[in-house]
Structure 1
Amino acid sequence: MIAIDAMMVCLDLSDIDEKLVAFTRTICERLAVGKVYFVHNVKTSELSEDFRETFGDVDLSKEVEDNIADIVAEHFTGGCDHEILVSEEPNTEVIMAELVKRYKIKLTLLGKRMSDKSTGALGTKLLRILPCSVLVFPETASYKIGKVLTPIDFSDASVHALRLSKNLVDQLGLQLEILHVYRLPSQYFPLISEEKAERKAEELVKERFKDLQKRHKEIAGVPYTLVRAANKSIAERIIIHLNKGKHDLLVLGLKGHNPIPSLSLGSVPTEIYNTDINIPLWLVYSEEVIK
């Protein structure tokens, strides 16, 4: 059973806030969530002198808190225990990471607008710095989730994401599909037959699936699909498969933080996050990786 002791919802005072709060309510209705923290940081470094001169000593945090309280009252009726946290710090990513540690947050919900409305820079920074799993909810996404896709590369991180996905679908009565995107060593063509190489590659991958199913019997009956990357990136192939299969949730395992910030998220999750997909994206860390 999936239980989330503490969950953080990042709000930015835009139109997507109402959707995030409503989606949070559906999560609380379907999963065991202990407490939800609705958070917003007033970035003091971005407040202009004109603003200060016009509004003087206005209690901006209180105004923001009241605004969030109104949204929560309207869209979170029937939700679980919750609290609103508003801060005034120069660095939003740092304060959010501190909140995750302070309140032992297990999952952060992050909204994402389409690329023609936002660069997504803050979201990318948060993904790289938050020491917890992150559920990204695009503004065009639906609350209804019936079919889940979990790509794996047979790493411990992807297997962890797969087992979480299986628990989720069993708990909520959903459908699950596993996807593996593989590449062929094209530098050896035409020394070997491309058709033969593809056949051999699929045989090897199927053997790895058999071994995985022996070690984790709970996923033995889950259907899986093998897709060759060919002239596309792995992320592009995943997105193409998403669109074909009409999935409602994408779950990806994250391997851990690299000391170099630009490498900490991984190329596949980064590319998918920066693409305008219209379903939620659950980026999963295992407890061992977070520790």
Structure 2
Amino acid sequence: MQNLNKFLVCLDSCSLDEHIIRYSSMIAELAGCEKVYFVHIAQKNLSLKIKKYFQEKIKDHFTANCETEMQIHQGKNAVQILKWSEFKIVDLVILGIKPKTESTGKHAARLINEAQCSVLLVPATAKLKLSKVIIPLDFSASAVTALDAALNIKEKADVEVLLHHVYFVPTGYTHTGKTYEEMAEIMDKNKRREYEQFKRNHSIDESKYEVIFELDDDQNPSDNIYEMAKDRQADLIIVASRGRTKLASMLKGSTAVNLISYDRDIACLVVKNKSENMGFFEALLKI
């Protein structure tokens, strides 16, 4: 995992904190991280007692060889985290996801859409190891960014990498005179040809991963991605964002935002091109 030198890890003064600290330690070790900012956003209480509580948790559960710093601030979670991630110029924000918690989902969705850096969402039941990584594949340049992230992990942890392309039969296929099954076969062949072109365009070595093609019958790829990840016992889903366009950070099909709505146990890494996002930010300041 390249260019992930600074992390911001969100702590929430709950039972999930110890797990998030351990998970962050594992990722920091893989990434060769230089510094981790642990941040707790408090509504009211900013006492030294709370800071000491977190410092002890970090000491007990964070074992990666890098510098750590604990910060406590007052404000609204997602807003404050976004401010700090930009101010400290972090490369990755790590956020714990509580099962079936609507407020946590809203914070995560906003972070995914607005943060300039990559975002890692960690459920309470995420495994403290990485052995298999799955990447939704759409043949875009962004997918190459996600694949590069996975292959960087593979170099450190020898994980199995799966590329998963979900396709569907287009609406109105009956006008072609073909049956659903015939059109599905045509779409499968077309997508495999598109994949071959994708490989050639980006000089990708397919010996380092497995590719899976799957027909989707409801044109909602998020459920297919999650079910495939569960079926193949993946430990991490990696989704790449498009960067900032039209004054917003647009995810491909909002796949990552949809994924966090599931009651799930698989971590999700949203990889962003930080240099692209920072270029936009700097241009905005000149307006």
Give the TM-score normalised by the residue count of structure 1.
0.86
Instruction: Select which of 179, 197, 201 maps to 1:211.
Output: 197
Matches of 2:198 and 2:155, distance apart in 1: 19
Matches within 5 A, 1:251-290: 251-257=238-244, 264-265=250-251, 266-290=253-277
2:180 — aligned with what?
194
Give the Å deviation of 1:93: 2.3
2:158 — aligned with what?
173
Please, which moves more after superposition, 111-120 or 208-217?
111-120
Verify the 8 A CA contact 1:61 1:88 in the aligned structure 2.
Answer: no
1:104 — aligned with what?
89
Instruction: Select which of 37, 62, 71 maps to 2:57.
Output: 71
Give the Å deviation of 1:104: 1.2
CA displacement, residues 146-194 of structure 1 (integer Å, 9 cap, x when unaligned): 0110011122222211222122213321110100001111322272232
Matches of 2:155 and 2:35, distance apart in 1: 23
Check 1:88–1:134 CA distance in 2 against 1; reply closer, same or farther (3 A cut). Answer: same
2:144 — aligned with what?
159
Query: What amino acid sits opposite 1:8 in the alignment?
Result: L
Give the Å deviation of 1:199: 1.9
Check 1:78–1:101 CA distance in 2 against 1; reply closer, same or farther (3 A cut). Answer: closer
Check 1:205–1:5 CA distance in 2 against 1; reply closer, same or farther (3 A cut). Answer: same
Give the Å deviation of 1:254: 1.2
Instruction: Select which of 169, 190, 211 maps to 1:224.
Output: 211
Check 1:159–1:16 CA distance in 2 against 1; reply closer, same or farther (3 A cut). Answer: same
1:149 — aligned with what?
134
SS in 2 for 1:184: coil
Check 1:62–1:264 CA distance in 2 against 1; reply closer, same or farther (3 A cut). Answer: farther
- Do residues 83 (structure 1) and 69 (structure 2) align? yes
Matches of 1:28 and 1:231, distance apart in 2: 38
Please, which moves more after superposition, 163-172 or 149-158?
163-172
CA displacement, residues 57-91 of structure 1 (integer Å, 9 cap, x when unaligned): xx7242221111011111114541111111123x3
Verify the 8 A CA contact 1:20 1:111 in the aligned structure 2.
Answer: yes
Query: What amino acid sits opposite 1:254 in the alignment?
Result: S
2:236 — aligned with what?
249
Give the Å deviation of 1:5: 1.3
Matches of 1:117 and 1:98, distance apart in 2: 22
SS in 2 for 1:140: coil
Uncovered stretches (5+) of structure 1, i.e. residues with no partner: 45-58
Verify the 8 A CA contact 2:3 2:91 in the aligned structure 1.
Answer: no
Verify the 8 A CA contact 1:6 1:107 in the aligned structure 2.
Answer: yes
Give the Å deviation of 1:274: 0.9
- Do residues 11 (structure 1) and 11 (structure 2) align? yes
1:56 — aligned with what?
none
- Do residues 237 (structure 1) and 224 (structure 2) align? yes
1:47 — aligned with what?
none
- Two-structure CA RMSD over aligned residues (Å): 2.2
Query: What amino acid sits opposite 2:189 in the alignment?
Result: E
2:281 — aligned with what?
none
Verify the 8 A CA contact 1:4 1:107 in the aligned structure 2.
Answer: yes
1:26 — aligned with what?
26
Matches of 1:202 and 1:251, distance apart in 2: 23
Uncovered stretches (5+) of structure 2, i.e. residues with no partner: 279-287
SS in 2 for 1:240: helix
Matches of 1:235 and 1:286, distance apart in 2: 22
Between structure 1 and structure 2, the one with the greater Rg is 1
Matches of 1:84 and 1:32, distance apart in 2: 19
Verify the 8 A CA contact 1:61 1:87 in the aligned structure 2.
Answer: no
Query: What amino acid sits opposite 1:23 in the alignment?
Result: Y
Matches of 2:155 and 2:185, distance apart in 1: 33
Give the Å deviation of 1:216: 2.9
Matches of 1:171 and 1:76, distance apart in 2: 19
CA displacement, residues 235-274 of structure 1 (integer Å, 9 cap, x when unaligned): 011112112111111001112346587x845432111111
Check 1:31–1:210 CA distance in 2 against 1; reply closer, same or farther (3 A cut). Answer: same
Give the Å deviation of 1:101: 1.6
